Each structure stands twice: as C-alpha cells, then as structure tokens.
C-alpha cells in the first residue's frame, strides 16, 4: 500500500516543501526558466571556508545548464576595484570563464577555485549619504564599470559579513544611478566558519572547521593525559563563540570560555584613551583574575576525579575584552580594533593559569598555550557542508532566475529548504553594518557544553 504523504501545517511550509517547478513526486528535471541573463559573475571574498567549491561549482553549473555563461571573478574584488578603461580586466588574471570540465568533481575539493582576497570597495561608505559622494563611492563605481565591461548581467557574492555589507552597498549604489543605466542584480551567499551570521542557522564550512579543531583537541587530550599536563587552546571566533563551543563539545574539552560568558561578575569597566581620537572613553573588559580562577577551579575539580590533565578552549575574541595593560604595543586597525593575532591569548593565559594553580595548591602543573584555527579553513569538507554549500549555490540560481530577486541573502531552514532574506533585514539602514549573532547563554546549545564539561560549583 502506498504510504500517505503528510500534509504541511501551513501554506508557507507547504510552499517551502514543494518544488514549484516540477510535478510533485516526479523524477523530472527542474523546469528551465526563460531569462534575459546572458552572463553572470561569481565572486568569493574574505577568509576561506570548507565547501567553498561546492558553492561555486553548483552555482555555476546551475546557470550553465540554463545556457548562461559564468565568469569566476579571481581573488575577490581586488581586480575590480582597480578597473579603468585604460586598465581593462584580463582573462585568466582577473576573471575566468567557468566550464563543466573545469568544475568536474570539484564539490568535495579543498581550497577556492577562484581564489579570495579581502579588498573592500565599500570600506569608505559608512552611511547612505556617502553613496552620493563621487570620491567615497569611486571604488563601487569601478566595480560596477568593470562588471559592465565584461557584459555581466548578475553578481553572486560569496563571503562573510563584510562581503554582505559590500553587496548591499553595491546594490544601493546602483539604486542611485539614472533610470536608463544598466542594473546588475546581486544576491549574497553567507560564508564564515565562525557561524555568527544573522539570517541562517549554520554557515557552510562550520561543521568541517569544528571537526578539524575537535580532532586537534582530542589529540591534545591524549598528549595531556600521557604527561599529566594541560593545553590551553585559543580558537578562531573574533565576535562569537560558535566555533569554540562546537570544537569543545565535539573534542571533549574540559572547559570552554567565549565572549558570551564574560557577563555579570566576570565583566568590569575601565577608562582608556582612544589612540585614534585621543579622547577618554569607558570600555567593558573581562575580570582576568576571575577567569583565571575559574580555569583553576576546573583543574582542581578534575584532580578530585583523578584526572590530572585536560584541554581548555578559549575563543580568540576574548582578547578584545582584555584590560589595557595587556594590550600595550598591540597594533590596531583603522577602526581601533586590536590585531588579535598579535595577542597570543593562549600563551598569555597559560602563564597566568600556571602561576595561579601553583599559588593556590602549592603544586606545579604544566599548561601549554596553543593557537588553533587556520588549519580548519581549507580542510576537506564534510558531507553536511557539501550539501549545505550545494543548496546555497543552487539557491543563487533560483533566487536570480526563478524568483527574480535582487538584494537578498540566500539561506536555508529545516531540511535545507531555501528562503531569501532581504539585505535590509540583515543590515542597519543608517550605519550599514551587520549585527553579530551570538550564542544565547540561555540556549540549550550553550547549556550542552556546561553539561558535558567538568562540573564546578560557582
């Protein structure tokens, strides 16, 4: 007897669950849609992430199957921002025509087929009014002119929150062009191993990065147990603790601490002088002594369980909350943000913890500080990230050709069901910045780590 198919609970869910372009339950290919697009461009910017090629190849193949040419823009915006009619874009240097042969069996490959870079043509734009200034918007104009010179009809942007902001500014720049000017619709595909993106539950590459770091942590645990010692690891995750928490849970770490945990009695205030403006300002910081004491408590609790070893995981973003005395001589960027890579949080806290443990117990315990993260950015992607990345890549085609969208981020919910989030729901309309998605400390995801790690009475 044929099993009945459960009906969706509401119209919206039904629309998400049904492929509107092919008969329900059939094995037919998706219906080919009529489109005016002749050529589209795919661009990847920012840090690498596993499954990048799954996104690029599935997006490109989707368009090519519809008879649309696909240009892969090489190394992010770095070539486009330098475009002038006197310096035209060159094939195989600034862009390449993607072909099925080139993309063969690339979904599970490592690296980025079209490269990446951090060039940011929208960095001078921090308010909508800046788009009216020809000097401030000149880099965006060069990007627009460069794409027009290639005959590009639509842009697929892949990247993190900075790249999302750039995509939004690129759309806003075009919105201000004369009515007769060509428009290049843009859709954005979210990418970051940090997983701190609003509008999507998990970003592609996150789970692969988590497993890569978790594997490192498990190796360190075996080393620590053999030598009755500790490792204090600093993991990537500047703004939020998703990567640290995921790696700690999967890697069976003894304790994980991220920026979300520096609340209540763990947070203090200090007055500092802004090195850029010279003005005094109050900033919130962590109580370093209290954080160190919490780590020592975990070590002592483990000894009571006859475990004289362990791995502590700390998110690199905690460096932003260090008191000023720990940041002397650390370089800063144009936004007055510290260079986290120069802090070496793991080494700093390993020294503080070693000293505090000996002072409290009278015994020595070796604590080694390590930085983890870069090894996870181009790891071979896991199945889920390949599936998620593939759906996002296909989503770019469906957004532009089937749904005729412009200015949306492609996202998924539930069982990889596509939906499209307008830029204006993700970006502040006045400052043009995105909002970081932190781990909610009351969430079951956060509580899971506390359940699994060594219990300590506060």
- Is residue 50 in some structural domain? yes
Per residue in 114-157, pLDDT tens?
999 999 999 999 999 999 999 999 999 999 999 999 999 999 99
Cβ neighbours for 404, distance < 8 A, ≥ 6 positions apart: none
Residue 24 confidence (pLDDT) = 57
- Same domain (yes/no): 152, 284: no
- Same domain (yes/no): 298, 389: no
Residue 194 confidence (pLDDT) = 93
Cβ neighbours for 355, distance < 8 A, ≥ 6 positions apart: none
Residue 341 confidence (pLDDT) = 73
Cβ neighbours for 369, distance < 8 A, ≥ 6 positions apart: 231, 232, 233, 234, 344, 345, 346, 347, 348, 349, 350, 351
Q: Residue written as tokens 């998620």?
A: 388
- Same domain (yes/no): 197, 213: no
- Is residue 430 in some structural domain? no
Answer whether 80's CB lies under 8 Å from 170's CB. Answer: no
- Same domain (yes/no): 178, 265: no
Per-residue pLDDT, averaged over 216-230, amounts to: 97
Average pLDDT score over the chain? 91
- How many independent structural domains does the chain possess? 2
- Same domain (yes/no): 312, 447: yes
- Same domain (yes/no): 369, 390: no
Per-residue pLDDT, averaged over 224-245, amounts to: 94
Cβ neighbours for 15, distance < 8 A, ≥ 6 positions apart: none
Residue 18 confidence (pLDDT) = 42
- Same domain (yes/no): 221, 347: yes
6: pLDDT strictly greater than 80: no
Lowest mean pLDDT among 336-340, 366-370, 399-403: 336-340
Per residue in 29-48, pLDDT tens?
777 788 899 999 999 999 99
Answer whether 191's CB lies under 8 Å from 118's CB. Answer: no
Per residue in 412-423, pLDDT tens?
999 999 999 999
- Is residue 237 in some structural domain? yes
Answer whether 389's CB lies under 8 Å from 133's CB. Answer: no
340: pLDDT strictly greater than 70: yes
What is each CA distance from 53 to 116, 243, 388, in whole angstroms?
12, 21, 12
**Domain extent for 59:** 33-202+381-425
CATH number for 237 = 3.40.50.460
Residues of the chain with pLDDT > 90: what percent? 81
Higher pLDDT, 25 or 392: 392
Task: With CA atoms as reference, report the closest residue to 313 among 369, 366, 352.
Answer: 369
Per-residue pLDDT, averaged over 283-301, amounts to: 95
Q: Is 367 left (phi over 0), alpha (psi -120 to 50) or beta?
A: beta
- Is residue 308 in some structural domain? yes
- Is residue 434 in some structural domain? no
- Same domain (yes/no): 125, 254: no
- Same domain (yes/no): 349, 303: yes
Per residue in 431-449, pLDDT tens?
999 989 999 999 999 999 9
275: pLDDT strictly greater than 80: no
- Same domain (yes/no): 330, 260: yes
- Same domain (yes/no): 233, 187: no
- Is residue 89 in some structural domain? yes
12: pLDDT strictly greater than 70: no
Residues of the chain with pLDDT > 70: what percent? 93
- Is residue 18 in some structural domain? no
205: pLDDT strictly greater than 60: yes
Task: With CA atoms as reference, report the closest residue to 114 among 82, 159, 72, 156.
Answer: 72
- Is residue 143 in some structural domain? yes
CATH number for 412 = 3.40.50.450
- Same domain (yes/no): 356, 447: yes
Instruction: Determine how β-strand 367-372 pairs with β-strand 230-235.
Output: parallel
What is each CA distance from 318 to 216, 283, 298, 303, in whole angstroms?
21, 14, 19, 27
């Amino acid at each position: 007897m044929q099993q009945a198919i459960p009906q969706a609970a509401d119209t919206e869910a039904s629309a998400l669950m049904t492929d509107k372009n092919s008969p329900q339950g059939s094995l037919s290919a998706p219906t080919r849609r009529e489109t005016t697009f002749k050529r589209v461009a795919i661009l990847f910017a920012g840090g690498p992430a596993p499954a990048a090629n799954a996104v690029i190849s599935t997006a490109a193949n989707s368009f090519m199957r519809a008879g649309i040419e696909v240009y892969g823009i090489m190394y992010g915006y770095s070539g486009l921002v330098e475009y002038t009619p006197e310096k035209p874009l060159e094939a195989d240097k600034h862009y390449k025509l993607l072909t099925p042969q080139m993309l063969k069996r690339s979904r599970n490959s490592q690296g980025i087929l079209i490269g990446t870079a951090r060039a940011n043509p929208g960095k001078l734009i921090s308010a909508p009014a800046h788009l009216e200034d020809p000097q401030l918007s000149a880099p965006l104009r060069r990007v627009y002119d460069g794409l027009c010179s290639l005959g590009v009809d639509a842009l697929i942007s892949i990247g993190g929150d900075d790249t999302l902001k750039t995509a939004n500014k690129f759309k806003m720049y075009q919105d201000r062009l004369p009515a007769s000017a060509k428009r290049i619709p843009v859709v954005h595909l979210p990418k970051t191993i940090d997983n701190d993106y609003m509008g999507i539950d998990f970003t592609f590459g996150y789970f692969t990065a988590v497993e890569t770091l978790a594997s490192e942590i498990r190796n360190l645990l075996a080393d620590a147990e053999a030598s009755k010692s500790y490792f204090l690891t600093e993991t990537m995750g500047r703004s939020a603790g998703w990567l640290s928490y995921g790696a700690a849970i999967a890697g069976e770490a003894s304790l994980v601490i991220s920026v979300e945990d520096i609340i209540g009695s763990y947070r203090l205030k200090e007055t500092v002088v802004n090195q850029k403006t010279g003005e005094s300002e109050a900033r919130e910081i962590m109580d370093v002594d209290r954080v160190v004491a919490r780590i020592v408590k975990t070590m002592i609790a483990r000894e009571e369980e006859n475990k004289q070893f362990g791995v502590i995981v700390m998110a690199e973003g905690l460096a932003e909350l260090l008191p000023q005395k720990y940041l002397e001589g650390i370089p800063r960027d144009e936004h007055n943000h510290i260079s986290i890579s120069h802090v070496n949080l793991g080494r700093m806290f390993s020294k503080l913890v070693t000293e505090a443990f000996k002072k409290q117990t009278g015994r020595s315990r070796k604590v080694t500080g390590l930085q983890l993260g870069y090894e996870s950015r181009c790891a071979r992607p896991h199945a889920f990230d390949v599936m998620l990345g593939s759906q996002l890549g296909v989503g770019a085609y469906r957004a532009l050709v089937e749904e005729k969208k412009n200015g949306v981020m492609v996202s998924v919910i539930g069982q990889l069901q596509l939906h499209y989030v307008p830029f204006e729901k993700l970006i502040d309309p006045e400052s043009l910045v995105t909002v970081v998605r932190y781990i909610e400390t009351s969430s079951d995801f956060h509580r899971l780590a506390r359940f699994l790690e060594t219990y300590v009475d506060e």
